[in-house]
Chain A
């Protein structure tokens, strides 16, 4: 019985994803709502991403320095940090923060709309809520995550530069020249594409949990919780899969 329910849910999620993709290309196009959601996505997570990425840059540099110093390879620090930040740390930190912040937000918002019959009210008034509520949110998270990752990378590298500068006086241009030399186009593009998938997963999981929320206040809580947990798991799975895929091009 549990297996049957599980398989049913997989089929439902598949249908939901195809409906989102299909509705993205079909009118009505929700340009205005997508822009509004993009603003919310950036606005909601910017502070937390700034704070966390900066700390991550500082801590990673602080912890890597002694190991490199013991080999006399301290000058490799910008190279190591930049590759770690661009390839993995930046997207992962941004993805996890957005999964927590945006996933719960989307799940709870759509969940409470479902419970209070607001989605039904849109449906019966012929306003096609799926495009308005779901497609716009999924598009916004998919578009905004890569931008937030670029921002997180820059902030983390600034944190790293401050730490490097704290121990050995180093010029800003020298540090970022080293970064630019060691980061390849494959690193940058693979990181951006991966983060777009993170955004898609966060939007889909949050919207699915909220749109199919059970009735009652517990239903809303459950939707928010499911959105966060599943989105976080999805981020690690996508990260792992993308790593295998990207290695084919390196």
Chain B
């Protein structure tokens, strides 16, 4: 069955309606010049859910989550996160909201002029005004321990491998105890073993911090491992939605190849 842009194939078994919606996106449009990237995306993220957004490169997956934290302004549509309309907030309110959202960047985005310790201390000092040395040490050690990289505390980001950088990047967001985690291509460019470690880390973060997460990926093995529900972004809209097992049976031509390889 060929699906039109406005029809979403929804397998409802993946959604637990007893859970509260922590983020909802309605009719989101975004274009860059002549290129329409998002053409009316609608989706809900539920409490403690791991939602994977699957799609080919250039389909606007990263744009979608950057809109959620106000990094990119959409052309139209609404984004509601933790009960707040992101684009109706003033700068101070937006900053407050951002403290509750962790964003793991594709390239880790560690501050390369700072050590790992300073990278983790930076948001604590700047946002929470924590300057007590013992408290800083405890919080930093706990966050690094959670990602298994306590021994790198005095190293510079340039001394770490790609996978280690991703884990430190996740630790830096976890230090502020976010309610929602947004992972942008967490396994991109990593070998299968390191990818699996990152996938396990995503699951353990949900377990320990009770976060709701959106995981942007085109890595089908990562999607299988981490997802409660998958939304496939095709042609700028959320075309197909369901669990991994449900989507495996899809006949959607642009989604089928993901499950064949």
Q: Which residues of A contact B (CB under 8 A)?
A: 28, 112-113, 116-118, 120-128, 132
- Interface segment among B5-13, B107-115, B212-220: the answer is B107-115
* Docked complex Cα distance between A28 and B127 (Å): 10
Are the CB atoms of B71 and A127 closer together than 8 Å? no
B122 at the interface (CB under 8 A from A): yes
- Across the A-B interface, give the 10 residue pairs with the lowest CB-CB distance, nearest first: A121-B109, A126-B95, A117-B109, A126-B98, A127-B126, A124-B103, A124-B69, A125-B123, A126-B99, A117-B105
Shortest C-beta distance, B190 to chain A (Å), equals 17
* Docked complex Cα distance between A112 and B213 (Å): 29
Are the CB atoms of A125 and B103 closer together than 8 Å? yes
With a cutoff of 8 Å between Cβ atoms, the chain A residues found around residue B101 in the complex are 124
Are the CB atoms of B127 and A116 closer together than 8 Å? no
DSSP class of A's interface residues: helix, strand, loop or mixed?
helix
B227 at the interface (CB under 8 A from A): no
Are the CB atoms of A126 and B127 closer together than 8 Å? yes
* Docked complex Cα distance between A124 and B109 (Å): 11
* Docked complex Cα distance between A117 and B108 (Å): 8
Are the CB atoms of B127 and A118 closer together than 8 Å? no
Q: Which of B98, B123, B126 has the most CB of A within 10 A?
A: B126
Given contacts A118-B111, A123-B71, 19 further A-B contacts (CB under 8 A): A28-B126, A116-B109, A117-B106, A117-B107, A118-B109, A120-B71, A121-B103, A124-B98, A124-B101, A124-B103, A125-B99, A125-B172, A126-B99, A126-B123, A126-B126, A126-B127, A127-B123, A128-B95, A132-B126
With a cutoff of 8 Å between Cβ atoms, the chain B residues found around residue A124 in the complex are 69, 71, 98, 101, 103
Are the CB atoms of B105 and A125 closer together than 8 Å? no
* Docked complex Cα distance between A117 and B65 (Å): 14
Contacts A120-B105, A132-B126: A125 and B112 contacting too (C-beta < 8 A)? no
B201 at the interface (CB under 8 A from A): no
Are the CB atoms of B103 and A127 closer together than 8 Å? no
B204 at the interface (CB under 8 A from A): no
Are the CB atoms of B112 and A116 closer together than 8 Å? yes
B188 at the interface (CB under 8 A from A): no
Closest to B122 in A: A127
With a cutoff of 8 Å between Cβ atoms, the chain A residues found around residue B109 in the complex are 116-118, 120-121
Closest to A128 in B: B95
B176 at the interface (CB under 8 A from A): yes
B194 at the interface (CB under 8 A from A): no
B20 at the interface (CB under 8 A from A): no
Shortest C-beta distance, A39 to chain B (Å), equals 14
B155 at the interface (CB under 8 A from A): no
8 A Cβ contacts from B30-78 to A: 66, 69, 71
Are the CB atoms of B127 and A121 closer together than 8 Å? no
Closest to A123 in B: B71
* Docked complex Cα distance between A121 and B120 (Å): 12
With a cutoff of 8 Å between Cβ atoms, the chain B residues found around residue A121 in the complex are 103, 105, 109-111, 169, 172
B96 at the interface (CB under 8 A from A): yes
* Docked complex Cα distance between A120 and B105 (Å): 9
Closest to A129 in B: B126
With a cutoff of 8 Å between Cβ atoms, the chain A residues found around residue B110 in the complex are 118, 121
With a cutoff of 8 Å between Cβ atoms, the chain A residues found around residue B107 in the complex are 116-117
* Docked complex Cα distance between A190 and B53 (Å): 61
Q: Which of A112, A117, A120, A127 contacts B127 (CB 8 A)?
A: A127
With a cutoff of 8 Å between Cβ atoms, the chain B residues found around residue A120 in the complex are 66, 71, 105, 109
Shortest C-beta distance, B120 to chain A (Å), equals 11
With a cutoff of 8 Å between Cβ atoms, the chain A residues found around residue B95 in the complex are 126, 128
Contacts A117-B109, A118-B112: A125 and B127 contacting too (C-beta < 8 A)? yes
With a cutoff of 8 Å between Cβ atoms, the chain A residues found around residue B123 in the complex are 125-127
B173 at the interface (CB under 8 A from A): yes
* Docked complex Cα distance between A118 and B101 (Å): 16
8 A Cβ contacts from B112-138 to A: 112, 122-123, 126-127
With a cutoff of 8 Å between Cβ atoms, the chain A residues found around residue B66 in the complex are 120
Closest to B66 in A: A120
Shortest C-beta distance, A220 to chain B (Å), equals 13
* Docked complex Cα distance between A123 and B101 (Å): 12
* Docked complex Cα distance between A200 and B173 (Å): 35
